[in-house]
């Protein structure tokens, strides 16, 4: 029954979603080219507010726990498990004050209104996962940007999203580069739950009545931990709180 009901609502949601992308693409261009970084950042934040609220058409609700754990005016490496694109819109809006950038696959840098423009101009790293010589310098660049400006960078070390919520092993290389080139930063682990249920039927139709849960854990300062220790603690605390 849910799947049947979801078809018309998913059509409406998808239509409104892409309308927002089309509306905000020229807004981003104007903000970036005429008013600079902060105006562009705010345009991206409000785009994602619209996308987050559009998900209410599907009965989606949001529960963010642990906002008090987000350090103020500190560079952050936000590490999270990955279950759907709704992870990204939620993080951009609810953590907008920490200027989130992303480690993203290079294919997303072209062809998607608003999304591709933000990835190219907003400070994120576009990487080719099959080409370390291209990927690692890009990660270094965003790490230094974050470290020098008290921004944040979001990385999903599983690489690809989990379709069932079950976590995949965390990859080391990206986190190691961020650790090395953002020495003043904090690792900020986030556990995401139920986001995979939005796409439990596949890309279409979408799941209805999903309660997205984001748990922000206590930060760990890079300078106080060797990499192996902070990596292990980060993966353990994230996966420990995943609900299967």
Q: Give residue limits of the domains in the chain.
A: 2-240
pLDDT at 97 over 90: yes
Give the model's confidence band at 211: pLDDT under 50 very low, under 70 low, under 90 confident, else very high. very high
What percentage of residues in the chain have a pLDDT greater than 90? Answer: 84
Give the model's confidence band at 161: pLDDT under 50 very low, under 70 low, under 90 confident, else very high. confident
**What does the mean pLDDT of the chain come to?**
94
pLDDT at 23 over 80: yes
CATH 3.40.1130 fits 2-240, yes or no: yes
Summarised one tens digit per residue, pLDDT across range 229-240 is: 999 999 999 999
Summarised one tens digit per residue, pLDDT across range 26-50 is: 999 999 999 999 999 999 999 999 9
Instruction: Give the contacts of 212 (CB within 8 A, at least 6 positions apart).
Output: 60, 61, 62, 63, 86, 90, 192, 193, 194, 195, 198
pLDDT at 133 over 90: no
């Amino acid at each position: 029954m849910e799947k049947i009901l979801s078809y018309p609502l998913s059509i409406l949601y998808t239509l409104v979603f892409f309308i927002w992308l089309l509306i905000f693409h020229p807004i981003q261009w104007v903000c970036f080219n005429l008013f600079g970084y902060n105006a562009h950042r705010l345009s991206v934040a409000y785009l994602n507010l619209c996308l987050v609220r559009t998900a209410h058409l599907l009965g989606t609700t949001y529960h963010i726990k642990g906002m008090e754990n987000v350090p103020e005016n500190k560079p952050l490496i936000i590490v999270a498990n990955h279950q759907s694109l709704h992870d990204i819109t939620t993080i951009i809006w609810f953590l907008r004050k920490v200027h989130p950038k992303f480690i993203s696959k290079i294919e997303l840098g072209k062809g998607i209104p608003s999304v591709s423009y933000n990835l190219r101009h907003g400070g994120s790293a576009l990487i080719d996962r099959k080409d370390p010589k291209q990927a690692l310098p890009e990660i270094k660049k965003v790490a230094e940007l974050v470290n020098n400006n008290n921004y944040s960078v979001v990385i999903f070390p599983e690489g690809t999203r989990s379709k069932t919520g079950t976590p995949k092993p965390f990859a080391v290389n990206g986190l190691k580069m961020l650790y090395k080139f953002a020495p003043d930063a904090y690792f900020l682990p986030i556990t995401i739950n139920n986001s995979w249920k939005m796409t439990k039927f596949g890309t279409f139709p979408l799941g209805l009545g999903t309660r997205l849960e984001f748990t922000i854990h206590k930060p760990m300062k890079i300078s106080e931990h060797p990499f192996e220790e902070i990596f292990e603690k980060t993966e353990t605390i994230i996966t420990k709180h995943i609900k299967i």
